[in-house]
Amino acid sequence: MKYVILFLEFFKIGLLAIGGGMASLPFLHEMVQKYGWITEDELINMIAVSEATPGPIGTNVATYVGYTIGGVPGALIATLSEVAPSVLIITLLARWLPTWSKNKIVQGGFAAVRPAVAGLIGAVALGLARSEFLRVDGWQLGTLLQNVDWAGLGTGAVLFLLLQRYDWHPVLVIVGAAAVGIVLGL
């Protein structure tokens, strides 16, 4: 039964995650909460590894999650079901896309989808930041300052500022962060 659920969940992700791999994060977060197959921390690690490895992040995460949940068969099912909607849709629409791209309804649809995708990614980013920078679950103001992971928050803030100033490749950032984590024992 878990293989059927894996297929359906990753097919849904592949079908609805418009805007790339990061747009799949809300769906992955929902899957973690719904089935409990992996933890939030494991998902964050999977996303980090998927960012650092070659290939699309959505496909890499599907493979990683599928393997964690169901071994090699799970990895194959999750990966193939994640890419299947794109292959099917592109195959069906390739013939008509040049004509449709000039259609005002299609242009309006894409104009409305882009901010929605940005909002979904932002919501997941906030949730990931909360789980990464706070040692407890929640936002209680009285204990908030005591439960902040100041080293993690400081590292994230420095990286954020450096990335605003310099155009570093994501792999360089991830490898550098891993090296800092190893050296500092984080």
Listed by start position, the domains of the chain span: 2-140, 149-186
Number of Cβ within 10 Å of residue 31's Cβ equals 22
Which of 16-25, 77-86, 142-151 has the highest mean predicted lDDT (pLDDT)? 77-86
Q: Counting every residue, how long is the chain?
A: 186
The yes-or-no verdict on residue 132 having pLDDT over 80 is: no
Nearest of 151, 150, 143 to residue 186 by alpha carbon: 151
Angle CA(38)–CA(84)–CA(114) in degrees, nearest 5? Answer: 80
Give residue-wise pLDDT tens across range 68-120: 889 999 999 999 999 998 888 888 877 777 777 778 888 888 788 888 888 88
Q: Which amino acid would we find at residue 161?
A: L
The yes-or-no verdict on residue 33 having pLDDT over 90 is: no
Q: 7 near 81, Cβ under 8 Å?
A: yes
Q: 144 near 153, Cβ under 8 Å?
A: no
Q: 14 near 58, Cβ under 8 Å?
A: yes
C-alpha to C-alpha distances, 138 to 36, 105, 129, 185, nearest whole angstrom: 19, 42, 12, 26
Coil vs helix vs strand at 125 = helix
